[in-house]
Every structure is written in C-alpha cells, then in structure tokens.
Amino acid sequence: MRVSATEFKMNIGKYIEHAAIEDIIITRNGKDVALLTNVENKKKAALESLRGIIRGTEITRAEIREERLGKYNENPH
C-alpha cells in the first residue's frame, strides 16, 4: 500500500496497525521515501535468506547468536 506523507501523518495509528498485515510505502511528491513494515516478518525473511550459507559446519544457531551478540557485551577497557 502507498500513502502520501500527509495522509500518513494524519492517520499514523491506522497505518501502524495496518503495517502488521502489509508493508506501507510512504511517498512525498509522488516519490517513495519510507517503508513501514512488520518487524517480525522481516526478521523471518532475513533468517530464511541465510539458510544454507553455513552448510557443512558444526555451528548451532545458539552459537552464532552468542558470537554476534558478544561484541555488544564486551567491556572496553
């Protein structure tokens, strides 16, 4: 669905609820400027796109997650 920035501003609550169902493209002067989307669907799509890339390794999802989040938990000294 496409809506103008003005329409989006006037009815933001309605479009936030609708984004759970489908992506909302926000336009300004007829050009696409933003995308309002469902976060959970995007997370699932990202995971699906990575399936098979690490084929043949002995790494579990938990280990991958721990390694990726580990960089945020390190204490800089």
Higher pLDDT, 30 or 69: 30
pLDDT at residue number 3:
96
Higher pLDDT, 8 or 73: 8
From residue 14, alpha-carbon distances to 24, 41, 55 in Å are 11, 19, 42
Q: Which domain holds residue 66?
A: 40-73
**Mean pLDDT on 33-57:** 71
Which of the four pLDDT bands, split at 50, 70 and 90, describes residue 55? low
From residue 22, alpha-carbon distances to 11, 25, 26, 35 in Å are 16, 10, 13, 11
> How many H helices and E strands in the chain?
4, 3
Domains of the chain: total: 2
Question: In terms of domains, do 45 and 20 share one?
Answer: no
How many Cα neighbours within 13 Å face the side chain of 26? 17
Question: In terms of domains, do 32 and 50 share one?
Answer: no
